[in-house]
Each structure stands twice: as structure tokens, then as C-alpha cells.
């Protein structure tokens, strides 16, 4: 007999197994979907999982996709650890890209390293400012962060469209929504000659590891985790909630802004309307899949990166629409949430005999309790009679 | 401004507000039972896609609407199974639903892009539509707008005048007390979630069959999210919800009005107005923290599990 029981303590082991089960289940469901679409699942597996790591060029492309995901997800993970539902990475990334481009179009072939740093700084500051708006409104008016960050994502998208159609458009571009192609001097250094991956991926991994260190080994990290688990406890301990909220939000904004900047002055090399194929939203899934733990997030951003890359390849090789990425992301997150059930509940196989005995014991306890009640009520009656 | 232009603007605001009203009405009832479904955008997109596909392939608009409602309900079924039966985090599950719905609708609707159909046409109600000014505004609309009037009135009546409404509110305010009274909390929440899904699907079909009779990816453009803010704006009251929806409808067409008046601002900047308006309204509402706490259903977004409690 199967029995579902809440766990007394949440399972650490299941917390790490659940993403793996979710990925396997997503693969199974996707295989069925591929069969229905007339594509052999083994071929699809090859395109989505093996091809992204098949040679150095492809590995570089995988890093190009994983980099912005890792940056955004690291910031989001800290927010979610503090129980702050920041959905705004997408908008922060987009305004970061716009601000960085505004600097980058000024650069000439002979510009020094300073302009490159300025372009990066512009992106980071823009991302932070974009994150500061919902934080300010939340701290001052308790405005719901989920909705304000979502709205700012849309406003950020229209800021990008406005910039790319207007002030930042290529003056000789025949009205095409594109900026000029940036001068080489303002582009981030490449990791290797074969590919488009830049040093931003190294910075991203470094930042993820550092934030992991900060989260688990420093006092501010401890305060953040306490605040996320139990706000009342954090208040009682005298932790400054303002510092925690502002800290994680600005950090997340800076990282997302950096991601946007390193896209336009990196692999893309100009400002275009499709700077981000939804990296900011996918980063939410990456953060959860990596268990809000920087090490886990490095792995999950690689996985999500291969999903993005696979869908690009699948469009070319298998004729599948790229919309399939969003579909996989949704399915994956559903399975992950469902598997997380196993962290808090356990499914036990209980022998019929044991279950019967348990029920008998429960029944006996109930009877005893009833008898006690009867005794006490007789006592009270006796007392009342005496009075 | 001449009266005819004003009337035109009001008609446009009403049309634009209708999908917001429909989806927000579903979410309001859902939230009244304590369920916060952030998957509105995903359900609405699925409704829009399914409605358009149904109408295109069968040639029947009503079959399209039915299909849209079913699609919305199927999506909310998924949400319910996870968040109500498996007690997953409602915020995360809702986000997953939006990501999933956005992906699935653009995947399934890929072939529909570029197709056209004859959408719902305005039907003038005899006599009533001859009333000056108000007539063409209220009584010369398409069937789905009339349906939205009926649904608002019916929902108000059910929520405030019947036992069902009382049950819904009891579950949302204190599910454990409701449970002790013998109310099946999970069942009530599930039914409300399904109602929310149906309304989101219907709102989606209004977008793809009446408002702009076509389908394209992400055509709802954040209306599902604005609807969530609208419910807060309305303090979970149906009468305020209708008012709010039409005000938001007006904010959404403001850029068209401005262009009509010859104001020279980039259309991309003007397109921000509904989203900025949403933030402004939320700030205005949330600055009175006590009043908002009072009107929020007490158990909103909190899972119900008598075994753990």
C-alpha cells in the first residue's frame, strides 16, 4: 500500500535529485513530442544535447548562450533566496544593452580601453537603475515587486525599440531598426579565435562563485538567508531589511545590465531589436533548476544554453520552429515544481499489516480520549451536584 | 474636442477594456478563494490561439470561442493539479504556466500567422442603440462585449447574493475554518481556478476573434499581467473592476488618441503608457497599506494542507 506523508524535515538529497528527475521526464515527454512531429528522438537528442558540445566552435556558441543566462540567474537566485520575487531581469538586461550601445556607437577604431570600460559601466548602471525603480516603490509604498518588475520589462522592451528606431539607429541604415556595427576597439576580447565567446563568460562564472561564497560564508549572506526564510526572525535579530532588499536587487540589476552590455559589445556587436531571446525569463528557470545555488546555476545555465542552441540548430537541421524552446522551458519548470513535492513529502510503501496496526492504534487512542472526556464530564457533574 | 471624437474614444476604450475585464473577472474570483494564478498571460495566449484556430478551421466563431474557453480551462487544470494537489509554490507555478503557454501558443500557432477571418461584428440592439451618445457606446457592440456585461452582473450577483459566493469568500479568508465547516476547500479552489482559466480563454478569444481578428505570437502584450494589477486596483470588488478595466482600456489607446490629435511622439514611447499607468496605479493603491491588507483575501497564495497544519 502506498502512503504519502509530509516529511518532518525537508530532504536535502531530493533537493538535488529533483532537477535530474525533472530533466529526464522532460526528455521523455519531448521524445513523445518529437515522435508526433515525425522527428526521430535520437536525432533530436543529438541536436539538442550532443551537438552543442561536439567541437570547440560549438562549445564557444554554447558559452555565448549560457553567459547571459548565468549572469541573470545568479542575481535572481540571491533575490529569491531573500524571498523577493524579482522577475525583472529581462528589462534590466535590455536597458543595459541600450545604455551600453549609446556609449559604443561613439567609439572609433582608435578608441582606447577606457571606452570599452565606459560601455560596460553604462550597461551595469542602467541595469541597476532599472532595478532601483521597483525596489524604491516596494520599500516606500509596498508596491508588489512581481507586477512592477514585469511592467518594467515591457517598458524596457519599448525603450529598446524606441532607441533602435530613433536615436541609436544607423543614420545610413535606410531606416532599418539597427545601430551601426560597433568599432572593434569597443568589443570585449574574445576567449579564442575560433568562436564568438568573450571574456564575459569568465567574469560570469567568477561572479557566480563569489556570490556563492558570499551567500554561505559571510555575515551579509547569512542575514540574506535568514531574511528569506523568516522575515520576523530577521527583524527580531535586528537585521536591516532595507540593506538586504536594496543589496540583492541592485546586485541582480547590475548583473543583468552587465549581461545586456556584454551581448551588444560582444557576440552581437551592434544594437538590434532581438538582443535577448527571453534570457531574463529563462534565467528564472535556470535559477530554480540550479537550486538557487551558484554552483548548481553554472550547470543549469549550461543546460538551458544547450536548449537555446539546440533549438537554433533544430530549426536549420530538423525544420522545427524555435518556439519549441519556450515549450521545453515551460515543461521543464512544471516537472521541476512537481518533483519538488518529493522534497517535502515522502511516498512510502507501507505493508498492509503495518497500516492495519496503525489504524487500530489510532482507533484505540480515539477511544481512550473519549473515555477520558466521559470521566471528566462525570467529574464536573459530580462537582456541580456537590455545589 | 467635438462630441463625436469623444464618443469614438469611449467606444475604443470599451473595446480595449473588455478583454482586461474578462480575464480580471476570472482572476478576481480565483483570488477570492485564495489562489493566485500568475499564469494569466499564458492562458490568455492559449485562448487567443485556440480560438483563432477553431474559427479558422471550422468557419464558426462560436466553436472558436468554445475551443478558447476549453484551452484556457486545460491550462488552469495544469496549474490546479500542481499548486492545489501537489502544493507547489503558486507564484512559481503561475510563472511556469505563462512561460509554457507563451511557448505552446507560438509553437502550435506557427501556421496560423498571416491567416485572416471575419471576426465578430457589432450588432445594434433595436431602439436602445438609437439613444443619443450612450446608444452606440453600449448597445452597438459585438456579442462578446454584451457577454462581458452579463458575466460581470452575474458574477457580482453570485459573489454577493448567493451561498456559493459566501463559500468562495470563506475559503479565501480562512480555509481551515471553512474546512472545519465541512466545505471541500480544494474542490472550491479547483473550480474557481477552472473558472479563471475559462475566463482567460474567453478573453484571449476576444483578442483574436473580435479586437484584431488574427493571430500572432505574444499578441496579448502583457494584458494578463495588467489584469493581475487590475484586481488589486479594484480591491477585489467586481464593480470597481469594470471601472478599472475601462480606464486601463483608455490608457492603452492613449497613444492612438495622441497620434490622432497630431502629437509627434515616437509610437514606441507612447506604447509604454498602459504599463506606466499600471505602475502608477499600483503605487497609488499600495501606498494605503492598511486598506489593501484589509481587502486582500487572507489566504491568498498560501497552500492548504490540513495534514501539515
Q: Which tens digit of pLDDT belongs to each residue from B8-41? A: 888 889 999 999 999 999 999 999 999 999 999 9
| A118 pLDDT above the threshold of 80 | yes
* Nearest-angstrom CA–CA distance, B45 and B71: 10
The predicted structure's pLDDT at residue B200: 97
Determine the 3-state secondary structure of A196 from DSSP: coil
Q: In whole numbers, what is the pLDDT of chain A averaged over residues?
A: 89
List pLDDT tens digits, range A355-371. Answer: 788 788 888 888 887 77
Q: What is the CA radius of gyration of chain A?
A: 27
* Nearest-angstrom CA–CA distance, A338 and A340: 5
List pLDDT tens digits, range A304-337. Answer: 999 898 888 888 888 888 888 888 888 998 899 8
Q: How far apart are the first and last CA of chain A?
A: 55
Is B149 in CB contact (< 8 Å) with chain A? no
Contacts of B258 (CB under 8 A, 6+ apart): B265, B270
B99 CB neighbours in chain A (<8 A) are 281, 284-285, 326, 329-330, 333
B282/A143 touch (CB, cutoff 8 Å), yes or no = yes
> Which of these, B231, B176, B179, lies nearest to B36 by C-alpha position?
B231
Contacts of B307 (CB under 8 A, 6+ apart): A6
Tell how strand A345-349 and strand B123-124 pair up.
unpaired
Query: Nearest Cβ partner of A288 from B92, B103, B287?
Result: B92
| A208 pLDDT above the threshold of 60 | yes
Determine the 3-state secondary structure of A192 from DSSP: coil
Determine the 3-state secondary structure of B2 from DSSP: coil
> Which of these, A18, A15, A31, A13, lies nearest to A335 by C-alpha position?
A18
Q: Are A289 and A77 in contact (CB under 8 A)?
A: no
Q: Are B84 and B35 in contact (CB under 8 A)?
A: yes
Where do the H-state alpha helices sit in chain A? 12-36, 41-45, 56-81, 89-104, 113-141, 145-165, 200-217, 219-229, 231-236, 241-263, 279-289, 294-317, 324-339, 341-344, 352-386
Q: How far apart are the first and last CA of chain B?
A: 61
B289 CB neighbours in chain A (<8 A) are 141-142
Q: How many residues does chain B have?
A: 309
Output the CATH code of domain A40-319.
1.10.3470
* Nearest-angstrom CA–CA distance, A384 and B55: 77
Nearest-neighbour CA in chain B from A141: distance (Å)? 5
The predicted structure's pLDDT at residue A385: 57
Q: Are A330 and B104 in contact (CB under 8 A)?
A: yes
Per-residue pLDDT of chain B (309 residues; tens, 9 = 90+): 578 888 888 888 999 999 999 999 999 999 999 999 999 999 999 999 999 999 999 999 999 999 999 999 999 999 999 999 988 889 889 988 999 999 999 999 988 888 888 888 888 888 787 787 777 777 888 899 999 999 999 999 999 999 999 999 999 999 999 999 999 999 999 999 999 999 999 999 999 999 999 999 889 989 999 999 999 889 899 989 999 999 989 888 887 787 777 777 888 888 898 899 899 988 988 877 788 888 889 888 888 887 665
A292 CB neighbours in chain B (<8 A) are none
- Grid coordinates belonging to B81: 493539479
Nearest-neighbour CA in chain A from B172: distance (Å)? 20
Residues 36-95 of B with CB under 8 A from A: 38, 42, 78, 82, 86-89, 91-93, 95
Contacts of A103 (CB under 8 A, 6+ apart): A115, A118, A119, A122, A186
Tell how strand A2-6 and strand B140-141 pair up.
unpaired
A321/B106 touch (CB, cutoff 8 Å), yes or no = yes
Is B166 in CB contact (< 8 Å) with chain A? no
Domains of chain A, by residue range, sit at 40-319, 356-386
List pLDDT tens digits, range A232-260. Answer: 999 999 899 999 999 999 999 999 999 99
Q: Which long-range contacts (CB under 8 A, 24 or more apart) does B267-270 make?
A: B268/A158, B268/A159, B268/A161, B268/A162, B268/A165, B268/A166, B269/A158, B269/A162
Residue B46 sits at the vertex; the CA angle it makes with B41 and B48, to the nearest 5 degrees, is: 95
- C-alpha distances in angstroms, B187 versus B81, B183, B194? 11, 9, 11
Query: Nearest Cβ partner of A143 from B78, B107, B286?
Result: B286
Is A143 in CB contact (< 8 Å) with chain B? yes
The predicted structure's pLDDT at residue B293: 81
* Nearest-angstrom CA–CA distance, A272 and A169: 9
* Nearest-angstrom CA–CA distance, B74 and B201: 10
* Nearest-angstrom CA–CA distance, A314 and A321: 8
- C-alpha distances in angstroms, B306 versus A280, A366, B166, B175, B179? 37, 19, 21, 9, 9
- Grid coordinates belonging to B22: 474578462
Q: What are phi and psi of A3, to 5 degrees?
A: -135, 135
Contacts of A256 (CB under 8 A, 6+ apart): A71, A72, A75, A88, A89, A90, A92, A93, A96, A127, A131, A280
- Grid coordinates belonging to A45: 537528442
The predicted structure's pLDDT at residue A298: 95
- Give the number of other CB atoms < 10 A from CB of residue A45: 16
| A167 pLDDT above the threshold of 60 | yes
Mutate to test the interface with B, among A90, A132, A154 (most CBs of B within 10 A): A154
Q: Are A284 and A152 in contact (CB under 8 A)?
A: no
The predicted structure's pLDDT at residue B165: 94
The predicted structure's pLDDT at residue B52: 96
Where do the H-state alpha helices sit in B81-184? 90-108, 134-138, 143-161, 163-173, 175-180
> Which of these, A328, A264, A361, lies nearest to A33 by C-alpha position?
A328
Closest residue in B to A288 (Cα) is B92
Nearest-neighbour CA in chain B from A184: distance (Å)? 30
* Nearest-angstrom CA–CA distance, A70 and A100: 19
Is B222 in CB contact (< 8 Å) with chain A? yes
Q: Are A364 and B119 in contact (CB under 8 A)?
A: no
List pLDDT tens digits, range A44-65. Answer: 888 888 888 888 888 999 999 9
Q: What is the CA radius of gyration of chain B?
A: 19
Is A98 in CB contact (< 8 Å) with chain B? no
* Nearest-angstrom CA–CA distance, A38 and A29: 14
List pLDDT tens digits, range A11-38. Answer: 888 888 888 999 999 999 989 988 988 8
A87 CB neighbours in chain B (<8 A) are 95
The predicted structure's pLDDT at residue A377: 59
| A386 pLDDT above the threshold of 70 | no
Contacts of B64 (CB under 8 A, 6+ apart): B50, B51, B52, B53, B54, B55, B56, B58, B205, B209
- C-alpha distances in angstroms, A21 versus A13, A43, B25, B84, B85? 12, 22, 37, 21, 19
B100/A285 touch (CB, cutoff 8 Å), yes or no = no
Amino acid at each position: 500500500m502506498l502512503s504519502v506523508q509530509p516529511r518532518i524535515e525537508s530532504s536535502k538529497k531530493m533537493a538535488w535529485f529533483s532537477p535530474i528527475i525533472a530533466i529526464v521526464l522532460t526528455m521523455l515527454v519531448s521524445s513523445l513530442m518529437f515522435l508526433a512531429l515525425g522527428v526521430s528522438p535520437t536525432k533530436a537528442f543529438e541536436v539538442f544535447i550532443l551537438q552543442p558540445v561536439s567541437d570547440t566552435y560549438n562549445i564557444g556558441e554554447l558559452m555565448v548562450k549560457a553567459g547571459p543566462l548565468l549572469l541573470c540567474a545568479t542575481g535572481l537566485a540571491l533575490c529569491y533566496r531573500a524571498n523577493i520575487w524579482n522577475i525583472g531581469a529581462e528589462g534590466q538586461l535590455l536597458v543595459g544593452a541600450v545604455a551600453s550601445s549609446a556609449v559604443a556607437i561613439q567609439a572609433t577604431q582608435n578608441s582606447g580601453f577606457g571606452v570599452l570600460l565606459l560601455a560596460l559601466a553604462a550597461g551595469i548602471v542602467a541595469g541597476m537603475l532599472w532595478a532601483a525603480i521597483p525596489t524604491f516603490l516596494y520599500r516606500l509604498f509596498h508596491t508588489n515587486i512581481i507586477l512592477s518588475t514585469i511592467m518594467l520589462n515591457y517598458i524596457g522592451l519599448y525603450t529598446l525599440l524606441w532607441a533602435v528606431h530613433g536615436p541609436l539607429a544607423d543614420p545610413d541604415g535606410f531606416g532599418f531598426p539597427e545601430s551601426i556595427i560597433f568599432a572593434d576597439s569597443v568589443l570585449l576580447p574574445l576567449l579564442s579565435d575560433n568562436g564568438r565567446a568573450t571574456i564575459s563568460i569568465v567574469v560570469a562564472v567568477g561572479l557566480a562563485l563569489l556570490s556563492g561564497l558570499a551567500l554561505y560564508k559571510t555575515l551579509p549572506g547569512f542575514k540574506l538567508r535568514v531574511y528569506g526564510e523568516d522575515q520576523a526572525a530577521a527583524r527580531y535579530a535586528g537585521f536591516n531589511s532595507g540593506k538586504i532588499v536594496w543589496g540583492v536587487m541592485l546586485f541582480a540589476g547590475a548583473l543583468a545590465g552587465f549581461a545586456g552590455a556584454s551581448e551588444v559589445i560582444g557576440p552581437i556587436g551592434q544594437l538590434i531589436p532581438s538582443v535577448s531571446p527571453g534570457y531574463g525569463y529563462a534565467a528564472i528557470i535556470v535559477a530554480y533548476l540550479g537550486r538557487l545555488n551558484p554552483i548548481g546555476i553554472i550547470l543549469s545555465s549550461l543546460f538551458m544554453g544547450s536548449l537555446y542552441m539546440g533549438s537554433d540548430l533544430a530549426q536549420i537541421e530538423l525544420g522545427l520552429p524555435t518556439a519549441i524552446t519556450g515549450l521545453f522551458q515551460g515543461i521543464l519548470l512544471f516537472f521541476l515544481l512537481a518533483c519538488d513535492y518529493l522534497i517535502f513529502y515522502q511516498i512510502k510503501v507501507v505493508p498492509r499489516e503495518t497500516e492495519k496496526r496503525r489504524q487500530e492504534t489510532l482507533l484505540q487512542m480515539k477511544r481512550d480520549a473519549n473515555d477520558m472526556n466521559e470521566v471528566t464530564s462525570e467529574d464536573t457533574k459530580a462537582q456541580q451536584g456537590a455545589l | 474636442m467635438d462630441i463625436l471624437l469623444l464618443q469614438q474614444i469611449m467606444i475604443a476604450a470599451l473595446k480595449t477594456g473588455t478583454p482586461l475585464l474578462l480575464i480580471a473577472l476570472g482572476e478576481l474570483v480565483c483570488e477570492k478563494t485564495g489562489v493566485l494564478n500568475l499564469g494569466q498571460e499564458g492562458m490568455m495566449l492559449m485562448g487567443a490561439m485556440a480560438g483563432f484556430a477553431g474559427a479558422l478551421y471550422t468557419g464558426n466563431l462560436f466553436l472558436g470561442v468554445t475551443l478558447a474557453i476549453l484551452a484556457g480551462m486545460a491550462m488552469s487544470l495544469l496549474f490546479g493539479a500542481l499548486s492545489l494537489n501537489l502544493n507547489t509554490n503558486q507564484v512559481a507555478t503561475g510563472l511556469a504556466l505563462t512561460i509554457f503557454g507563451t511557448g505552446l501558443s507560438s509553437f502550435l500557432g506557427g501556421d496560423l500567422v498571416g491567416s485572416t477571418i471575419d471576426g465578430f461584428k457589432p450588432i445594434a440592439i433595436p431602439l436602445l442603440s438609437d439613444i443619443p451618445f450612450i446608444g452606440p457606446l453600449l448597445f452597438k457592440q459585438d456579442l462578446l462585449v454584451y457577454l462581458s456585461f452579463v458575466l460581470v452582473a452575474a458574477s457580482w450577483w453570485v459573489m454577493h447574493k448567493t451561498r456559493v459566493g459566501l463559500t468562495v469568500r470563506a475559503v479565501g479568508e480562512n480555509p481551515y475554518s471553512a474546512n472545519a465547516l465541512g466545505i471541500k476547500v480544494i474542490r472550491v479552489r479547483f473550480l474557481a481556478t477552472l473558472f479563471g482559466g475559462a475566463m482567460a480563454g474567453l478573453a484571449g478569444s476576444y483578442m483574436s476573434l473580435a479586437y484584431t481578428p488574427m493571430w500572432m505570437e505574444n499578441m496579448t502584450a502583457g494584458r494578463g499581467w495588467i489584469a493581475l494589477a487590475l484586481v488589486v486596483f479594484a480591491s477585489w470588488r467586481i464593480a470597481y473592476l469594470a471601472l478599472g478595466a475601462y480606464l486601463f482600456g483608455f490608457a492603452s489607446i492613449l497613444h492612438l488618441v495622441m497620434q490622432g490629435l497630431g502629437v509627434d511622439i515616437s509610437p514606441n514611447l507612447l506604447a509604454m503608457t498602459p504599463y506606466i499607468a499600471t505602475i502608477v496605479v499600483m503605487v497609488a493603491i499600495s501606498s494605503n497599506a492598511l486598506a489593501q491588507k484589509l481587502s486582500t483575501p487572507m489566504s491568498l497564495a498560501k497552500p492548504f494542507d490540513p495534514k501539515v497544519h
